[in-house]
Each structure stands twice: as C-alpha cells, then as structure tokens.
C-alpha cells in the first residue's frame, strides 16, 4: 500500500507559524517545568511578603526568548535550504509505505521507519510527525484527501504511534 501526499512546501512562513511543533518535546517539557518552577517561586515570595515586582517579568521574558528562538531557527533552516537548493521555498512529497515514510525532496529521498516516530500532532494546518532522533516531518492538510487522511491515521494507529490527528 502506498499513499502519496504531494506539493508540500517548506518556507519561512510555515516554519514561523508552526515553530513550536518543530522543537523537540524534551525542550518543550523543560521549558514548561522551568516556567512552573518560577511561578511557584513567585507565589511563595508573595505569601512570605518578600515579593519583588521584577520577578513577574521572568516568565514573559522566557516566552519572548522562545519566540525569538523559533524565528531564528526557522530562518537558519531556510538559509540551509537556500544553500542546498538555491531557493527559499522547496517542495517535497511524502510517500507512506508499508515500512515507513519516504520524504522525496527534489532529487533526495529520506526514509523514516514507523518505529522511529514518537507522535503525530495536528496543528490545524499541518500534520507534524515527531521523529525520535531526527527533524520532524510534516504535510499540509490541504494536500491530502479525506480518504488519504483516514488511511494515514489508520497506519499510525496500526503501528501504535500516539496520534492526535483531528477529524478531516
């Protein structure tokens, strides 16, 4: 069985809009834990009457830094693609095979086996496939038909992959 999703784009706008899905989940978890830690410290300092106003700004500052990092990494990835393909936007196809997902980009093929996929996230416009030790793979929902979408969801469920794909 082979399902092909054609004409997916890699460009700065897509990466910037959906940047949070391209960070490793361990990074996101650490960020959330550190944010929670600071919130708890702020609450403790309020109850002990040792509250300093500047401590409130630590969490928003961290969020701003993460947003800046998302933009930086998106631009860096586009610069790498610009060097490789001499253009800012590249197209790629995803081919869902029996043993994995084949990413076809220009003349290059990258096979990702299903056992190396950690989870699948629906961002609204993209389906982001988190891979354990590699960059995430994604496809634009508008490029898939309803039947393809359902078949892909069945493939992930059959391979016991955590799948958060919403209804088409």
91, 9 Cβ separation under 8 angstroms: yes
65: its two tokens: 């830094």
Position 143 scores a pLDDT of 94
Give the 3-state secondary structure of residue 15. helix
Q: Using one digit for the tens of pLDDT, what is the confidence trace for 59-92?
A: 788 888 888 887 888 788 788 878 877 888 888 9
- How is the chain split into domains, by residue range? 3-164
Residue 134 has pLDDT above 80, yes or no: no
**Residue for token digits 């634009």?**
140
pTM higher than 0.85: no
Dihedral over Cα of 88, 94, 100, 105: its sign: negative
Q: How confident is the model at residue 99 (pLDDT cuts 50, 70, 90)?
A: very high
Average confidence score pLDDT of the chain: 86
Position 15 scores a pLDDT of 82
- Which fold would CATH assign to domain 3-164? PH-domain like (2.30.29)
């Amino acid at each position: 069985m082979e399902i092909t999703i054609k004409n997916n784009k890699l460009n700065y706008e897509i990466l910037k809009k959906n940047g949070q899905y391209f960070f490793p989940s361990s990074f996101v978890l650490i960020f959330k834990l550190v944010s929670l830690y600071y919130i708890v410290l702020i609450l403790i300092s309020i109850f002990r009457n040792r509250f300093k106003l500047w401590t409130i700004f630590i969490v928003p500052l961290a969020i701003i830094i993460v947003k800046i990092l998302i933009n930086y990494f998106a631009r860096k990835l586009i610069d790498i693609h610009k060097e490789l393909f001499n253009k800012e936007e590249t197209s790629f196809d995803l081919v869902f095979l029996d043993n994995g997902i084949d990413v076809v980009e220009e003349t290059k093929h990258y096979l990702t086996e299903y056992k190396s996929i950690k989870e699948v996230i629906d961002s609204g416009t993209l389906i982001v496939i988190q891979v354990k030790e590699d960059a995430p793979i994604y496809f634009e929902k508008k490029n898939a038909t309803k039947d393809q979408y359902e078949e892909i969801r069945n493939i992930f469920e059959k391979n016991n992959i955590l799948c958060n794909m919403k209804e088409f």
